[in-house]
Amino acid sequence: MSVKVAIIMGSKSDWPTMQSASEILTELGVSHHVEVVSAHRTPDKMFHFAESAANAGFEIIIAGAGGAAHLPGMIAAKTRLPVLGVPIQSQALNGQDSLLSIVQMPKGVSVGTLAIGTAGAFNAGLLAAQILANHDTSLAAKIDAFRQQQTQVVLENPDPR
């Protein structure tokens, strides 16, 4: 079966954040590709990746970037595949720069922007799985079970002390 999800990121330094996307996909049994693709340091590679992504069999691209975070938007400009952008929590501006760079796409080129940092990366993986689950009943059941278990943990621990 082809790998349908690609997780790309602007730098190796983004991996501690982006591995949260990989972890939930692994937990749900969704195989995925992981690769560093930098908009600024490897622009030709970025364009090649985006242009060949659909033919490679990918259905969803998760793209994490920090600072002047152009990667998700530029990937989205070169492919019709859905792109989920994850703003990395940068040191200088705490990820506000990443968030604003990714979220403010001009009309006509869409990037689905998640929260800053590991929560956003995790949710990007979860959202990718949810999209695939529309046509995968086995994956849908796993996601339902994940959500049920999450609910149970909260219900069984109502005392916050």
Helix (H) or strand (E) holding 20: helix 15-27
145: helix, strand or coil: helix
The C-alpha atoms of residue 63 and residue 35 are separated, in whole angstroms, by 10
| Least gap, CB of 67 to ligand RP5 (angstroms) | 5
In the region spanning residues 33 to 92, those forming contacts with ligand RP5, defined by CB under 6 A, are: 38, 40, 65-67, 88
Q: Count the residues of the shown chain that bind ligand RP5, applying the rule CB under 6 A.
A: 11
- For residues 30 and 88, which CB has a smaller minimum distance to ligand RP5 in the complex? 88
| 80 among annotated binding-site residues | no
| Least gap, CB of 160 to ligand RP5 (angstroms) | 34
Among 5, 7, 11, 114, binds ligand RP5 (CB under 6 A): 11
For residue 14, the one-letter residue type is D
What values do phi and psi take at 82, rounded to 5?
-65, 135
The C-alpha atoms of residue 161 and residue 159 are separated, in whole angstroms, by 6
Task: Give one DSSP letter per residue of 31-68, joined into a string.
Answer: -EEEEE--TTTSHHHHHHHHHHTTTTT--EEEEEE-SS
- For residues 5 and 86, which CB has a smaller minimum distance to ligand RP5 in the complex? 86
In the region spanning residues 88 to 147, those forming contacts with ligand RP5, defined by CB under 6 A, are: 88
- For residues 88 and 126, which CB has a smaller minimum distance to ligand RP5 in the complex? 88
- Return binding residues: 11, 14, 41
Binding site for ligand RP5 (CB under 6 A): 9-11, 13-14, 38, 40, 65-67, 88
